Structure 1
């Protein structure tokens, strides 16, 4: 019987991703890092998110820091607008094509392309959808880090695969089918919490 570490490592070899419960049960629960303890580092490919008069620089891959931001900060980020290039980094991290991610989020490719060309931020609705899937990845990372077993786990790739799995709890629907609305994203986030205990493995 393979260990959870072996299962996590196997994702690099295109084998099925382990259920979240398998990854989080192998070690005693630890503490999730607080937002203050997460250091946001500059990178070549960054997005600038502005909220309540302060600028937050978040690497495309730093989903945990984004998840740790408070609700008012998230509202500010949505109203300010997300840079279109965030979508490219998000799709790459999730190991899905940009077209597939746009379809999942219910965003039109031509609209996103035009906004990028004109150096415009996404609309509040578009930003909310992109932010929602980014926070979902951060939520998964927080759960795995709290388990004390984060080594080798790729939260973005795990979410990219999990969203495409038909789930009995959704009547056979894939979570991806709910990601184009804020309400659907809330349902999916709740299912991630339940999957931690193995309820929706």
Structure 2
């Protein structure tokens, strides 16, 4: 796929819908949004936040609203591109330039901008991994309160590194050797691989 550097270039790449894309772009640009290229397509932002974008495909073109789920959609124009996958994104699709009602499009765009300013957005869920302590490490930590406190003060990421390091040893003797190696490191508050970082 060719890298797109400007909105004009994007429109030129989609000549079958170029007049319609120009019309949508002109409507969008009557508002306060900033225009940029992201993911090889035109994206419009407010205060650095993505609000909407232009898109052209084989049989249709349109506007996607990053947090379109919050739009009232009084004209029933929005579709969820990936049912059960996409939570916030909604598309307004058109097949011909005559499908575009300028006033209606502008109303949706203005509502999307207003929603963004109000902070209406679905943030992606961050999956947090639960740290499961290997039995060998659990025994050592429970018998040494200072070490246990030092371990608990480590970031979850560093805790997981140590747990995986112990758990990945197949033999008990290897686990014990590894425990001896990491004990002073935990007490110093460093991660297992810190010495390799920023090299």
Tell me the TM-score normalised to structure 2 length: 0.24
Q: Which has the higher contact order (CA 8 A, sep 6+)?
A: 1
User: Which entry has the higher C-alpha Rg, 1 or 2?
Assistant: 2
Q: Which has the higher helix share?
A: 1
Structure 1 length-normalised TM: 0.24
